[in-house]
Amino acid sequence: MILVTGGAGYIGSHTCVALLQAGYEVLVLDNFCNSKPESLQRVSVITGKSVVLVQGDVRDRSVLREVFKQYVIDGVIHFAGLKAVGESMEQPLRYYDNNVSGSVILAEVMAEFGINMLVFSSSATVYGDPASLPIREDFPLGATNPYGGSKLMVEQIYTDLAQSDGVWRIALLRYFNPVGAHLSGTIGEDPSGIPNNLMPYISQVAVGRREQLTVFGNDYPTVDGTGVRDYIHVMDLAEGHVKALAWLQNQVGVHVFNLGTGHGYSVLEMVKAFEFASGRPVKYQIAPRRAGDIAEVYADSLKAERELGWKAERDIKDMCRDTWNWQKQNPLGYVD
């Protein structure tokens, strides 16, 4: 059985689908600070299999101990964390406590129970502003905000841990920009409040929930002046976790992988692709750059292809089609 922390969230719920379909049993530990149990009920409908759900906090040793005592856990995928960059600048201690302390406590309790296989959600944000593109795993690292700092610290902590004791098998997965939804449109990204990220914002404009998109800057040195990112379909990302877990069975040590497509798209290219997929106009206005944003980011994911046998299969049309399918079926997200 695989313990999935934060498994009710956006990437976690899609990964639960991929794990169940690959034949794994799944236990989710989530405190629902940014998700609802409804997502897991829908995971069960999609797969015809159920997930064991424990409501609790990854910083709570007693809950973790109960889980490890009661179930035979073979490995852990650790998604539980806070992820809003702006919020992390206002509440750095909350971010370090949740993301860093949570990751330390999880590993401590895993060690107590002799569980040593761990997949960790890192982020392309650990590369800061890269000197060249595409970004390879051996590029210099640097954080520009507490959220990125928390990811970088956990990477370092898990690297030190793996070096201190050869039994650990740890994959640090650096995601680029996850978008899209399960093909059924029954699970997807459900941000609370005003979305920070581009794709959910675009889809809420298309569905009529927001009036217009604000494009942050059109004076970057990119194809059309707007920011370029490596958007990756969340089901491709989910399948990457399943591949990483299978691969770790025969490894020891700590291993880092970029998970991206290798292609960058600009904000305006995303708007056009979404208008095409949805048949709806996406109104936008150009505004100044957003503080902290960089011009262009895309991954070199050849290491994951070579070692994990993983490659993103879904393209921008699939990403927009599936986001729209989710958005139009669930205009207000998961409602109770």
CA dihedral 126, 222, 319, 147 (to 10 degrees): 20
| In the complex, residue closest to ligand NAD by CB | 9
- Compare residues 229 and 255 and give the one whose CB is closer to ligand UFG: 229
Examine residue 188 and tell whether it contacts ligand NAD (CB under 6 A).
no
Q: How far is the CB of 21 from ligand NAD (least distance, A)?
A: 18
- Compare residues 96 and 176 and give the one whose CB is closer to ligand UFG: 176
Contact 312, 180 (CB under 8 A): no
Examine residue 123 and tell whether it contacts ligand UFG (CB under 6 A).
yes
Residues 1-20 that bind ligand NAD (CB under 6 A): 5-6, 8-12
226: its two tokens: 């707007």
Contact 300, 136 (CB under 8 A): yes
Catalytic residues: 147
Q: For ligand UFG, what does the binding mask look like between residues 207 and 246, x meaning CB under 6 A? A: ------xxxx----------x-x-----------------
CA dihedral 211, 272, 191, 155 (to 10 degrees): -140
Candidate residues 14, 83, 182, 210; the one interacting with ligand UFG per rule CB under 6 A: 83
d(C-alpha 12, C-alpha 173), whole Å: 13
Examine residue 265 and tell whether it contacts ligand UFG (CB under 6 A).
no
Q: At what angle do helices 267-278 and 316-329 cross, to 10 degrees?
A: 60
User: 31 contacts which partner out of ligand NAD, ligand UFG, none, CB within 5 to 8 A by kind?
Assistant: ligand NAD
Q: How far is the CB of 202 from ligand UFG (least distance, A)?
A: 8
Helix (H) / strand (E) containing 174 = strand 169-175
CA dihedral 274, 276, 281, 284 (to 10 degrees): 40
Residue 307 is classified by DSSP as: I
Q: Which residues bind ligand UFG (CB under 6 A)?
A: 83, 85, 123-125, 175-177, 196-198, 201, 213-216, 227, 229, 267, 290, 293
